[in-house]
Amino acid sequence: MHDARDLVLARLPSGVRIRTTVHVYGEGRLVDGPDGPELGVPADGGPVVYAQAAQHGREVNGTAVLRRLHERLAEAGEGAAGEDAVDAELEGTLVTVPVADPLTFDRVSYTTPESLDAIHSNMNRCWPGDADGTLHERMAASLWTFASAADAVVDLHTGSPAMLTHAVYMRDDAACRGLAEAFGTDLLLAEAAGDEADAEWSERGFAGKLRVAATREGVPTITPELAHSREIVPGAVDIGVRGMIGVLRHEGLLSDNPAPWNGTVARNHLGRVEAADSGLFTPDRGLSIGDEVEAGDRLGVVHDPATFEPLQTAAADRDGIVYSIAREATVTAGATLVGVAERLEE
Ligand SMILES: [Zn+2]
């Protein structure tokens, strides 16, 4: 059973409504509430999973994943076969929002201009939102109604041009870890919890991420990062669809068990090799995402483009796995050249 409705997220200064579409599959229904559609689930119903994509509008692979998943679910019972096949009605409810932020989607951007939201240009810094707040806070609050009613949340994103596909979860949170394993990317990045995390988050302004807000409310949440932005990458979409089906199995909406996970867990965010000065960055030939590096290994050189003077020989500051490489050569001081995730466990 599939149902879809228009949801008004907020209004623009002109009065034009910012709308998106909410889809519901399985046991739940969309019912009319005072402020628009609301989720109705039967009292004896199964678990609820919420998935959204494109709160950073240029990150279109997540949107493609939700369309492909829609087709799989629509084919259910029609004899679909193969690895991605869904062969049963859902025992529970799946809620999806393929375009969480239409403002950034239309601009093919990551953030909105100051004229739309001077405080939170990045929607993923203002969860759980505020119905009386700024434009992005209102939009987040509308979607939070659905996300906070779920038993698990998947917030689909994509990364930079050279970033290894991975899923981020709250370190030491077993439920989030289980969800991440069910999604099944080879690399899982564990973001720190506790005091360390609060320092890390406030430093980087991460406290308002949907994943962090929902996990703090007790809703296990993961952020898959599927390939890169602006382009549909078929392999990444395949991983995303398999990941969503793994999550539906893990949460009990589908009866099979997710495939056993056998990948690598590494630590997020701290291992960033930064540009010591502005210039042109040339990664060493042969340096690829997924490479294992040791502290001190040479990664590339930053040159002054006009004088040719080498400004910095970039080197790994720790042992780990290369999970991102800056491929846009022009770098400013402090920009990340290479992301090195520290291996936590085999
Ligand atoms: Zn994103």
Q: HSE, CB side, 13 Å, CA atoms: give it for residue 261.
A: 24
Q: Are residues 22 and 112 in the same domain?
A: yes
pLDDT given at position 344: 85
- CATH at residue 91: 3.40.630.10
Placement of tokens 């700024």 in the chain: 134
Q: Is residue 74 part of a domain?
A: yes
Q: Are residues 127 and 186 in the same domain?
A: yes
CA–centroid distance, 225 to ligand 1, in Å, is 8
Q: Is residue 129 part of a domain?
A: yes
Mean pLDDT of 294-312: 97
| N-to-C CA span, the chain | 41
Q: Are residues 197 and 260 in the same domain?
A: yes
pLDDT given at position 228: 84
CA–centroid distance, 306 to ligand 1, in Å, is 34
Model confidence at 202: pLDDT above 70: no
CA–centroid distance, 88 to ligand 1, in Å, is 32
CA–centroid distance, 70 to ligand 1, in Å, is 22
Domain boundary among 266, 284, 311: 266
pLDDT given at position 150: 98
CA–centroid distance, 168 to ligand 1, in Å, is 12
Q: Are residues 258 and 296 in the same domain?
A: no
pLDDT given at position 272: 84
Q: CA 306 → CA 248, 273, 280, 332, 334, distances in Å?
A: 54, 23, 10, 15, 20
Domain boundary among 232, 266, 300: 266
Residues 6+ positions from 271 with CB-CB distance below 8 Å: 316, 317, 318, 320, 339, 340, 341, 342
CA 244 to chain CA centroid, Å, is 12
CA 45 to chain CA centroid, Å, is 27
Residues with CB under 5 A from ligand 1 (ion): 56, 59, 157
pLDDT tens digits, one per residue of 129-187: 999 999 999 999 999 999 999 999 999 999 877 888 999 999 999 999 999 999 999 99
CA–centroid distance, 240 to ligand 1, in Å, is 15
Q: Are residues 255 and 277 in the same domain?
A: no
Q: Is residue 230 part of a domain?
A: yes
Domain count, the chain: 2
Task: Please tell me which residue, 269 or 64, carries the higher pLDDT value.
Answer: 64
Q: Is residue 76 part of a domain?
A: yes
CA–centroid distance, 99 to ligand 1, in Å, is 12
* pTM of the shown model: 0.90
- CATH at residue 324: 2.40.50.100
How much of the chain exceeds pLDDT 70, in percent? 91
Print the domain residue range for 187.
2-266
Q: Are residues 73 and 212 in the same domain?
A: yes
pLDDT tens digits, one per residue of 98-120: 999 999 999 999 999 999 999 99
Model confidence at 283: pLDDT above 80: yes
CA–centroid distance, 159 to ligand 1, in Å, is 7
CA–centroid distance, 308 to ligand 1, in Å, is 35
Q: Is residue 61 part of a domain?
A: yes
Domain boundary among 235, 251, 266: 266
CA–centroid distance, 58 to ligand 1, in Å, is 8
Contact 319, 297 (CB under 8 A): no
Distance CA(187)–CA(116), nearest Å, equals 36
Q: Are residues 261 and 280 in the same domain?
A: no
Q: Are residues 295 and 244 in the same domain?
A: no
Which tokens is 170 given? 């709250």
CA–centroid distance, 222 to ligand 1, in Å, is 12
CA–centroid distance, 228 to ligand 1, in Å, is 10
pLDDT given at position 238: 96
CA–centroid distance, 213 to ligand 1, in Å, is 15
Backbone angles phi, psi at 172, to 5 degrees: 70, 5
Q: Is residue 346 part of a domain?
A: no
CA–centroid distance, 165 to ligand 1, in Å, is 13
